[in-house]
Amino acid sequence: MTVRILALVGSLRAGSHNRQLAEAAVKLAPEGAEVDLFEGLADIPFYNEDIDVEGDVPAAAARLREAAGSADAILLFSPEYNGTIPAVLKNAIDWLSRPFGASGLKDKPLAVVGTAYGQYGGVWAQDEARKAAGIAGAKVLEDIKLSIAGSVVRFAETHPSDDAEVAAQLTEVIGRIHGEATAPVAA
């Protein structure tokens, strides 16, 4: 069985180091795991219950919900903006949290990783993303963490997939998510 892991990147910038980290995850996914990098978070309107109407959900939000619905697990890549989660990633979580009781994240294994310029690698934003995703119904994998500090310097001339340490850590993260997604559910 192939485990489908939906990757959402909280940075819209073309040269984003978090996007590069997600591209590395796609490339490094071990056998039995497939990482699908979602495109289109920028196209999703801010969550508004007035436009979240059954049969008339904005197309970009519907695509996100469909992608999450067909995924076995979720992997969020979060930079840190002013000490917290980027709005685009929070918006994705908000859309996936609805409709109430039928969250696209409900009981799905979810991990948060990322890189940031600061010395802590974006841990505050990652903690906020875990909190929001957990409230939205995800099975947050609290012990799976990867915060890479100094992204601007570390990845100035090296893609994350070509950084041996990062590649090994990311491969381990994906392997652990795979294990959680295929673990028997306790009765």
pLDDT for 79-98, tens place per residue?
999 999 999 999 999 999 99
Give me the chain's average pLDDT, please.
94
Q: Write the pLDDT tens digit of every residue in 116-145.
A: 988 888 999 999 999 999 999 999 999 999
Q: How far apart are CA 183 and CA 178, in angstroms?
A: 9
The SS3 assignment for 15 reads coil
Q: Where are the domains of the chain?
A: 3-71+80-158
Q: What is the mean pLDDT of residues 166-176?
A: 95
Helix (H) or strand (E) holding 33: strand 33-37
Tokens representing 131? 């909190």
The residue type at 16:
S
Class of domain 3-71+80-158 as given by CATH: alpha beta
Q: What percent of the chain has pLDDT over 90?
A: 83
The pTM of this model reads 0.95
Helix ranges restricted to H, 86-137: 87-96, 123-135
